[in-house]
């Protein structure tokens, strides 16, 4: 079925009217845009059964599959975690792909599902960004968190802690506009715009969190960043940067070891790669054994 010469933005502007919808970036492998059918109320059991069903589906790219998120709070499905304040989004959401279009890295249409409609694909406008910072935690609150972490480190209670702050922006505008601006200024190797009835997610990252293919699981943690004006070797020689990467590699090795065949987890040599305007230090960690089901400890 001929669809003319559509752009990714034009196709997404049409498909998003059938919300939920997604636009996923894969770097040199191009991008995929699609419409979704929401899976029933997201729970641990619901996600597991849906994933098993889709694992045996069609071999056509994206003819079957799930797109969604697992939030930090979903960790309570597998671990004992302290209570946390409510978040704007549910801990998990998943949708099954029902229509899709695939583009190469030069934004040329290379494949699509039979359901992609004919017609005019109009590139969305890109207005100036709007919004204002509505909430930022007080500096004293943040510094108090730093001191608490230092105490736990000295006591040997923890090995690594990520102290994060949530920024709230009022009147942030259309998520598509934010996505298009990110894509134009710093197109990520792995990015996602996901719009649902619960809210939208805009993600723009160089880091591969998890990928499973056949009997292998791969993760590529990144710790260490420098401008291209610096020698790339600096990231490999810096004791601080090496320590940070070593810590996160140890953590992901331990996590993969909990759900993989014993003795199959391997960490490759650390390396430095260019992502956009920056150098990043990274290390591939993979397992060659079949993962097993996760269970609550």
The pLDDT confidence band at residue 115, using thresholds 50, 70 and 90, is low
Residue 254 · residue 219 · CB < 8 Å: no
Q: With a threshold of 0.85, does the pTM exceed it?
A: no
pLDDT in tens, 175-200: 898 899 888 887 878 899 999 999 99
Q: Extract the tokens encoding 191.
A: 């990015």
Nearest to 220 by CA among 182, 262, 267, 180: 267
pLDDT in tens, 237-272: 899 899 989 999 999 999 999 888 888 999 999 999
pLDDT in tens, 11-68: 998 889 877 999 999 888 899 999 999 986 555 555 555 555 444 444 445 556 789 9
Give the pLDDT mean for 275-291: 82
Residue 235 · residue 279 · CB < 8 Å: yes
In 156-238, which residue ranges form alpha helices assigned H by DSSP?
Answer: 175-185, 233-237
Q: Extract the tokens encoding 160.
A: 């690594």
- The strand pairing partners of 217, in sequence order, are 212, 287
Nearest to 121 by CA among 10, 22, 26: 10
Residue 177 · residue 127 · CB < 8 Å: yes
What pLDDT sits at residue 43? 59
For residues 11 and 17, give the distance between their C-alpha atoms in angstroms, rounded to a whole number.
11
Q: What amino acid positions are annotated as catalytic residues?
A: 207, 223
The yes-or-no verdict on residue 3 having pLDDT over 70 is: no
């Amino acid at each position: 079925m001929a669809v003319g010469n559509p752009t990714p933005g034009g196709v997404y502007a049409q498909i998003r009217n059938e919300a939920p919808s997604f636009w996923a970036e894969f770097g040199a492998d191009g991008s995929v845009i699609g419409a979704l059918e929401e899976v029933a109320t997201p729970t641990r059991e619901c996600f597991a059964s849906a994933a098993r069903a889709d694992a045996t589906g069609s071999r056509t790219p994206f003819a079957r599959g799930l797109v969604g998120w697992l939030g930090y709070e979903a960790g309570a499905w597998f671990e004992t975690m302290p209570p946390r304040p409510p978040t704007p989004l549910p801990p998990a959401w998943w949708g099954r792909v029902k229509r899709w279009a695939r583009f190469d890295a030069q934004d040329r249409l290379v494949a699509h599902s039979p359901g992609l409609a004919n017609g005019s694909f109009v590139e969305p406008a890109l207005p100036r960004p709007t919004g204002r910072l509505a909430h930022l935690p007080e500096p004293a609150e943040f510094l108090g968190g730093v001191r608490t972490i230092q105490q736990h480190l000295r006591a040997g209670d923890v090995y690594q802690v990520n102290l994060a702050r949530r920024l709230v922006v009022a009147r942030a505008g259309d998520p598509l506009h934010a996505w298009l601006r990110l894509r134009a200024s710093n197109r990520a190797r792995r990015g996602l715009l996901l719009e649902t009835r619960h809210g939208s997610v805009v993600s723009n990252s160089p880091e591969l969190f998890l990928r499973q293919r056949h009997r292998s699981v791969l993760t590529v943690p990144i710790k260490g960043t420098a401008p291209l004006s610096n020698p790339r070797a600096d990231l490999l020689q810096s004791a601080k940067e090496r320590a940070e990467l070593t810590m996160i590699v140890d953590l992901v090795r331990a996590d993969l070891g909990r759900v993989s065949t014993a003795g199959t987890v391997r960490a490759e040599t650390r390396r430095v790669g260019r992502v956009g305007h920056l150098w990043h230090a990274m290390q591939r960690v993979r397992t060659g054994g079949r993962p097993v089901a996760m269970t609550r400890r």
